Chain A
Amino acid sequence: MPGAATNGKVLVDARPSELVRVATAGSVDDGKSTLIGRLLYDSKQVLQDQLEHVERVSVERGDGYVNLALLTDGLRAEREQGITIDVAYRYFHTPKRKFIIADTPGHEQYTRNMVTGASTADVALVLIDARNGVVEQSRRHAFIASLLRIPHLVVAINKMDLVAWDEAVFERITSEFASWAAKLDVTDITFIPISALQGDNVVERSEHMPWYDGPSLLYHLEHVHIASDRNLIDCRFPVQWVIRPMDDDHHDYRGYAGQVASGVLSVGDEVVVQPSGVRTRIAAIETQDGPLQEAYPPLSVTVLLEDDVDVSRGDMICRINNSPTPSKEVEATICWMSERPLRPGGRYRIKHTTRTALAKVDQLRYRFDVNSMHRDEQADQLGLNEIGRVRLRLSAPLLVDEYRRNRATGSFILIEESSNDTVAAGMILGADED
Chain B
Amino acid sequence: MTAVSYEVSHLRALEAEAIHVMREVAAEVERAVLLFSGGKDSIVLLRLAEKAFHPAKFPFAVMHVDTGHNFPEVLEFRDRRMEELGARLLVASVQDAIDAGKVVEETGPRASRNRLQTVALLDAITEHDFKAAFGGARRDEERARAKERIFSFRDDFGGWDPKAQRPELWNIYNAHINPGEHMRVFPLSNWTELDVWQYIREEELEIPSIYMAHEREVFDRDGMIYAVSPYVELLPGEEPYTASVRYRTVGDMSCTGAVQSSAATLDEVVAEIAATRITERGETRADDRVSEAAMEDRKREGYF
Chain-B contact segment, one of A187-195, A197-205, A297-305, A373-381: A297-305
Q: Which residues on B sit within 8 Å (CB–CB) of A253?
A: 55
Max chain B C-beta neighbours (<10 A), residue from A100, A411, A412: A100
Min distance, Cβ B252 to any Cβ of chain A, angstroms: 21
CB pair B8–A113 under 8 Å, yes or no, is: no
A177 CA to B50 CA, complexed, in Å? 50
Instruction: Let me know if A349 is at the binding interface, CB within 8 A.
Output: yes
CB pair B27–A49 under 8 Å, yes or no, is: no
Instruction: Let me know if B102 is at the binding interface, CB within 8 A.
Output: no
CB pair B146–A90 under 8 Å, yes or no, is: yes
Instruction: Let me know if B209 is at the binding interface, CB within 8 A.
Output: no
Q: A15-B10, A18-B9 are in contact. Are A243 and B53 (CB under 8 A)?
A: yes
Which A334-379 residues have a C-beta within 8 angstroms of B? Answer: 337, 349, 351-354
Instruction: Let me know if A240 is at the binding interface, CB within 8 A.
Output: yes
CB pair B172–A352 under 8 Å, yes or no, is: yes
Bitwise, B137-180 to A at CB < 8 A (1) or not (0) is 00110011011000000000000001101111111101011100
Which B1-16 residues have a C-beta within 8 angstroms of A? Answer: 4-16
Instruction: Let me know if B287 is at the binding interface, CB within 8 A.
Output: no
Max chain A C-beta neighbours (<10 A), residue from B50, B166, B279: B166
Max chain A C-beta neighbours (<10 A), residue from B4, B19, B26, B178: B19
Instruction: Let me know if B126 is at the binding interface, CB within 8 A.
Output: no
Instruction: Let me know if A322 is at the binding interface, CB within 8 A.
Output: no
- Please, how many residues of chain B have a CB less than 8 angstroms from a CB on the other chain? 66
Nearest residue (CB) in B for A90 is: B146
Max chain B C-beta neighbours (<10 A), residue from A240, A300, A354: A300
In the complex, the number of residue pairs spanning A and B with C-beta atoms less than 8 Å apart equals 200
CB pair B282–A50 under 8 Å, yes or no, is: yes
CB pair B174–A422 under 8 Å, yes or no, is: yes
Min distance, Cβ B272 to any Cβ of chain A, angstroms: 13
CB pair B169–A50 under 8 Å, yes or no, is: no
Chain-B contact segment, one of A114-122, A129-137, A209-217, A275-283: A114-122
Contact partner, A351, options B19, B20, B172, Cβ 8 Å: B172
Nearest residue (CB) in B for A351 is: B172
Contact partner, B167, options A79, A232, A422, Cβ 8 Å: A422
Q: A18-B7, A253-B55 are in contact. Are A240 and B23 (CB under 8 A)?
A: yes
CB pair A11–B54 under 8 Å, yes or no, is: no
Chain-B contact segment, one of A165-173, A388-396, A413-421: A413-421
Q: Which residues on B sit within 8 Å (CB–CB) of A93?
A: 192, 194
Instruction: Let me know if A183 is at the binding interface, CB within 8 A.
Output: no
Min distance, Cβ A142 to any Cβ of chain B, angstroms: 19
Q: Which residues on B sit within 8 Å (CB–CB) of A289?
A: 51
Contact partner, A259, options B171, B176, B283, Cβ 8 Å: B171
Contact partner, B7, options A9, A16, A73, A75, Cβ 8 Å: A16
CB pair A91–B139 under 8 Å, yes or no, is: yes
Contact partner, A2, options B6, B12, B54, B57, Cβ 8 Å: B6
Known pairs A77-B162, A259-B171. 11 more at Cβ < 8 A?
A: A48-B278, A50-B282, A74-B146, A79-B292, A86-B165, A89-B146, A93-B194, A98-B195, A288-B51, A300-B17, A354-B27
Closest 5 interchain pairs by CB? A49-B282, A288-B54, A300-B19, A245-B56, A420-B176
The 8 sampled A-B contact pairs (Cβ below 8 Å) are A12-B7, A18-B8, A47-B276, A75-B293, A240-B20, A241-B53, A249-B55, A412-B172
